[in-house]
Copies of this chain bind each other. A is one copy, B any other.
Amino acid sequence: MSAGSAGSARSAGSRLPADVEPGVCAAFRDALDLVGSKWGIAIIVAAGGGPIRFAELHRAIPGISRRMLTLTLRTLERDGLLVRTVHPTVPPQVEYAATPLAEELFRSTRALSEWAENNHERIAAARAAYDGRGFA
């Protein structure tokens, strides 16, 4: 092996699963397909408190456009994370509610969110240190 015998210690101190199945990353990416969009988690959280109407969601999530609200609602509904109920009144009234599946999913995101809350300072420090090299 020409230039490749640095003997990498990759079989020794593996602190993460060295023989990581492709599945590990794939599963994470699958999860992101479900709630990785800009507004996905916000909508699930907002709809987790009970049925909520379109206009209420729009107010509850500052900055979202009607278009993105509609699109994200459709995706979440299709994925079985939201149920959409139309009340044939006039004017029309539509309610969205998070499913048990969405609530499980949300609970599974908490560990990651909490890690981010607990470490955002360390991240900021790392970024500052990185940015402060080269033009000091």
Q: From B8, B29, B98, give the contact of A52 (CB < 8 A).
A: B8
A112 to B30, CA, bound (A): 10
* A-side interface mostly: helix
CA A74 – CA B119 in complex, angstroms?
19
How many copies of the chain does the oligomer comprise?
2
A6 touches B126 (CB 8 A): no
For A20, A109, A110, which residue has the most chain B Cβ atoms within 10 angstroms? A109
Contact B42 A36 (CB under 8 A): no
Cα distance, A57 to B41, chains bound together (Å):
31
With A28-B112, A79-B127 known, 12 other A-B pairs at CB within 8 A are A10-B52, A14-B49, A27-B114, A27-B116, A27-B120, A29-B38, A79-B123, A80-B122, A80-B125, A101-B122, A108-B112, A109-B111
A interface list, Cβ under 8 A from B: 3, 6, 8-18, 20, 23-25, 27-32, 34-36, 38, 41-42, 44-46, 48-53, 56, 77-80, 91, 93, 98, 101, 103-106, 108-117, 119-120, 122-123, 125-127, 129-131
